Structures are given as C-alpha cells and as structure tokens.
C-alpha cells in the first residue's frame, strides 16, 4: 500500500465524512465529483451518522489477501440513521448474534497491515450498540 493512496482517504475513513447533494439532498458516501442520483456537481462535505441498522449481513469464511488473520468476520450492509448506506465489517459480535435490524455504531479499528515493515491501515468498522440504562 502506497502512503499517499492511504493518506488521501484518511479524513473520510477515520471520521466518516461524506457529501450532501445541494440539489436532491442525497447523502453520498464515498465522496465523488457529482451526485450519482441527480448529476448535480454542487456537493458539500458532511459528517455521516455514526449509528445505523443492519439491512443484510454475511460471514466471510475465506478472505482475500491481507485479511486472513481476521477470518471469519462479519460484513454488513448498513442503513445509517441519516439515510445513507454503507458497507462495513461488524465487530465485537459473534456470527450467531447477527440479525437483520441489529442496531450498530461506528468504531475506529485496525483494518489490515502491509507485512511487517509496511504501514498499518485503520478505518471504520461497526459494532452492536449497547444501550445506556
């Protein structure tokens, strides 16, 4: 992994920064040059909701290169509370506890390592919400 390629995504991956379309109001993630729904080019940076609901999920048994030591792990399609959708690993959960409708929150985690001398990549993952009393 080249350092600039990693570095240029840091803001968006570390803080869950997306974009708001000034024309149709869609929340867009990841960032891009025009709204994929209406084509508008006036997009404003915005913070995404850090909480959401699982729409669907799977357990990756056979991972791609770089993710071997995490397997098996859960990947879910999540609808954030602001309406945007995001694909993410769900951690701190056993596969048996996963279900559609599970409430989850964003958390900052290690994603993968580039060998023993390369950079360590971080980013968002989600975890089940444990409600306060």
Partner 1 sequence: MRPVYIAGVALTPIGEHWELSLRDLACEAALKALEKAEVERIDALYVANMGAAPLQSQLHLGALMADALGLYGLPAMRVEAAQASGGVAVHEANLAVASGLYDSVLVVGVEKMSDALPLEVRSALAMAEDQEYTAYTGVTDVGLCALLHRLYMERYEAKPEEVAALAAISHEHAVGCPHAQYPFRVSVEKILSSPMEADPIHMLECSGIGDGAAALVLTADRGDVEIAASTVAVDHFFLTERSDPLILEAVRTASKRAYERAGISPRDIDLVELHDSTTIIGILSLEDLGFVEKGFGARYVSEGNVRRDGELPVNTFGGLKARGNPVGATGVYQVAEIALQLLGEAGRCQVEDAEVGVAENLGGVASTASITILRRH
Binding site for partner 1 (CB under 8 A): 9, 13, 28-30, 36-37, 55-68, 70, 73, 75-77, 84-89, 95, 100, 111-112, 123
**Tokens linked to 32:** 């891009």
- We find the least distance from the C-beta atom of residue 30 to partner 1, in angstroms, to be 5
CB of 119 to partner 1, least distance (A): 14
Q: Is residue 86 a contact partner of residue 80, using CB atoms and an 8 Å limit?
A: yes
Partners of 18 in the β-ladder: 46
DSSP code string of 16-54 = TEEEEETTT--EESS--SS-TTT----EEEEEPPSEEEE
- 84 or 104: whose CB is closer to partner 1? 84
Pick the closer one to partner 1 by CB: 111 or 132: 111
Smallest distance from the beta carbon of 133 to partner 1, in angstroms?
A: 32
**63: phi then psi, degrees, rounded to nearest 5:** -85, 165
Beta bridge partner(s), residue 20: 27, 44
Nearest distance, CB of residue 132 and partner 1, angstroms: 28
Closest CB to partner 1 among 76 and 93?
76
């Amino acid at each position: 992994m080249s350092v600039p390629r990693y570095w240029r995504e840091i803001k968006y991956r570390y803080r869950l920064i997306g974009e708001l379309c000034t024309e149709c109001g869609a929340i867009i993630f990841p960032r891009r040059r025009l709204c994929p729904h209406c084509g508008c080019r006036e997009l404003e940076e915005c913070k995404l909701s850090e909480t959401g609901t699982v729409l669907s999920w799977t357990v990756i048994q056979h991972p791609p290169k770089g993710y071997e030591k995490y397997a098996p792990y859960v990947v879910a399609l999540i609808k954030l509370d602001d309406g945007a959708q995001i694909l993410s690993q769900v951690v701190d959960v056993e596969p048996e506890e996963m279900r559609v409708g599970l409430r989850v929150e964003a958390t900052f985690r290690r994603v993968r390592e580039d060998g023993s001398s390369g950079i360590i990549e971080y980013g968002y993952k989600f975890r089940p919400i444990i409600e306060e009393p």
